[in-house]
Amino acid sequence: MQQGDSLPLVALTFSRLRRRYNHDTNYRGTCTLLASGLSFSLMAVCVKHLGGRLPVAEVVLSRAVISLAITRLLLLKAGVSPWGKRKGLLALRGILGTAALFCVFYALTQLPLGAAVLMQQTSPTITAIIACWLLHEPFHPRICLAALLGWLGVGLAVQPEWMGLSTATIPPMAVAISLSGAVFTALAYICVRNLVVSEHPLVIVYYFPLISVPLTLPFLWHDAVLPKGIDWIWLLAIGLFTQLGQVWITKGLALLPAGRAAIINYAQVLFAIFWGVLLFAEPINVWIVLGSVCVIISTLVGISTRSTPAAAMPSHQDPMGK
């Protein structure tokens, strides 16, 4: 087939995908969550590039300030009040999200990129269980299978041999903090899933940095470090990628049940492994390959599980305020 002949085929394929995106809620939610996972994996790359040169609290604060400014501008453009209706739950979401960020950023400075993100991705199973308990979402057998495959993938991939570390040199505190971050992330997902039925997505995103700033400042009272050179670029990129990830994951959780949405987020592991090998020369062997296969199958099973959102998102709630 000549190049000129392929252009109409590409245009037709794009048109079909666009039509499906506009009319298929499950497909739209899946695409949105995959975009969110890619954004968060790029955020992790930026944190890794900082190499622990700045305190974790300073990275969290920088991310919060950037997100706060961007979201405030988007709220003004959309003509939406930033304060929301369920302030208590919005504040709780901000607290849980901030705690999760502290844990994730600390783990990223202490563990290989793939290992840190893999441990964080134990949160889908926790999310599915809590969503079944608190939100009364059905624990579909396929979601259960996807969660188990995801756990297996994590177990295979986070092998000491793959990380190039002996068991004795794996920082146990970093592992514990990373897993704690997964729990906080799962609880934050549940809050978001509960909030999307009554709040504009930008309001949900706005409360995250709004709570993060005052919670983070005390940790920097004596430990603040002035960023130098390219560190400013990495901090800006962290804020931008986190903002995109938060907007997309909020939209995704409005379109899909929390359990299924979290399972799809396992794809973030694959992005992290790719960046780790490409940018940080992190080693790869049979364990990471087998773990990746399990994660891919887990994600595909989660994607193939058809479901209807537990609660419809109000039609005016476009995350970008359009």
Full-model pTM: 0.78
What pLDDT is recorded for position 163? 47
What pLDDT is recorded for position 3? 52
Q: What is the pLDDT of residues 41-69, one digit of tens each?
A: 999 899 888 878 899 899 999 999 999 99
Say how far apart CA 135 and CA 61 lie, in whole Å.
31
Residue 315, pLDDT > 50, answer no
Q: Which residues contact 42 (CB under 8 A, 6 or more apart)?
A: 237, 241, 271, 275
Token pair belonging to 269: 């592991």
Whether 315 and 68 have beta carbons less than 8 Å apart is answered as: no
Q: What is the pLDDT of residues 188-230, one digit of tens each?
A: 989 998 999 899 999 999 999 999 999 999 988 878 889 989 9
Residue 95, pLDDT > 60, answer yes
What pLDDT is recorded for position 283? 78
Average pLDDT over residues 281-301: 80
What pLDDT is recorded for position 22? 79
Q: What is the pLDDT of residues 131-172, one digit of tens each?
A: 888 877 776 777 778 778 877 876 776 664 444 545 455 678
Kindly compute the dihedral angle of the four CA atoms of residues 260, 240, 212, 188, in this order, to the nearest 10 degrees.
0
Under DSSP, is residue 302 helix (H, G, I), strand (E, B) or coil? Answer: helix
Q: What is the chain's mean pLDDT, rounded? A: 81
pLDDT greater at residue 191 or residue 1: 191
